A and B are shown apart, each in its own frame.
Chain A
């Protein structure tokens, strides 16, 4: 394969992995420029948005451009960290082929935590945030249980359905239903228990990163992420609202 082709593919793969794993826009642009210069590009120009990467390179005096569509993945800060370190520790004039292989092997490394451990972490986090939102001990238990159910639901739906909106909607509905069912038998406060349960879905970090992007001048990505955060919260609130109103009308009948 031509040298320029390998370098373009390396740049796109590297950028895609970083973007998917939750790196900031400026870091994706900055680190991929550093990496590509080290493997021998004379000039690197890239535009990174949350939905795609445009990359342009000058190699041996010729200009090459490629585009990659990126679909958001789940956070993997470990991978961001390793890819970032790679772009800093690589010595200049490294061969593009071997760097490509390194990036692929980093991406194929097993994740640092098993799914089960992450589910447990989501459960504990749900309980902890229920407490911070003013829950009693019973609420904390209800919030933790809700968070676990939400996590399991989302994991299951993500395997069979790729639509984020539907997943968040169902997550919200499950949170409200589990808190509602528990409140029948125990004196559980709905509000803190529901908020704790949906804490892993809620787009707080997304929204803050959107504002950070906008402040650093990445207006396109700031606007795009704000719209994403808006729709995520609409989906969750829609799920909770739908489940609550159905729940209240059923309880009214009984």
Chain B
């Protein structure tokens, strides 16, 4: 039940983000789907004890592949789906928390958040690259 609620919140939030990014109207439901699919894979991977970076990597590669498929089917650049789709994974909140902890003088917590930011961002980029590689083949 909690998972279903989370995924519903994720779909709603991702679709709304697509509106904030001015995505084409036709792409809206698919952007939300892309984001929710990625988030579901991420939750599942965490459930299997993948570790944060590995879970994010797998989720991002699923988003990348789905975005390339959608790009071909709807004749739009994959960026449209990727930009909104990665929002639930993206380390924006950790980046903010890291800076907040630094400003409060809690350097240990700050460095912890900052390193999370770095490896999550790298894991997302590497995962998305998989979609790109498959397209170019």
Residues in A lying within 8 Å of B, measured CB to CB = 21-24, 27, 74-81, 84-85, 111-113, 117-118, 121-122, 124-125, 127-129, 131-133, 172, 195, 198-200, 202-205, 207-208, 210-212, 215, 229, 233-234, 236-238, 240-241
Contact = CB atoms under 8 A, between A and B. Distances in A.
Interface string B57-96: 0000000000000000001110110011011101111011
B22 A236 contact: no
B45 interface: no
Contact of B24 (A112, A133, A238): A112
A200 B16 CA distance: 10
A122 B79 contact: no
B79 A77 contact: yes
Contacts of B34: none
Given A211-B121, A241-B100, A27 B77 contact: yes
A241 B92 CA distance: 16
A75 B80 contact: no
A132 B13 contact: yes
B80 A81 contact: yes
A24 B78 CA distance: 11
Given A208-B86, A208-B125, A236-B96, A80 B13 contact: no
Interface residues on B, range: 35 or more
A190 to B, nearest CB: 11
B126 A122 contact: no
B12 interface: yes
Contacts of B24: 77-78, 81, 112
Contacts of A172: 96
B5 interface: yes
Contacts of B22: 21, 74-79, 111-113, 118
A211 B16 contact: no
A23 B5 CA distance: 33
A17 B13 CA distance: 27
Contact of A200 (B20, B104, B128): B20
B3 to A, nearest CB: 12
A186 to B, nearest CB: 20
Interface in B32-70: none
Contacts of B23: 77-78, 112
A121 B79 CA distance: 20
B17 interface: yes
9 contacts: A74-B22, A75-B20, A76-B21, A122-B16, A207-B92, A207-B117, A236-B96, A237-B100, A238-B99
B96 A80 contact: no
Contacts of A79: 22
A21 B124 CA distance: 22
Tell me which of B18, B19, B128 has the highest count of chain A C-beta atoms within 10 A of its own C-beta.
Answer: B19
A207 B121 contact: yes
A241 B6 CA distance: 29
A121 B17 contact: yes
Contacts of A241: 100, 103-104
A73 to B, nearest CB: 11
Given A76-B22, A124-B13, A124-B16, A207 B6 contact: no
Given A27-B77, A81-B77, A207 B95 contact: yes
Contacts of A129: 9, 13, 88, 93
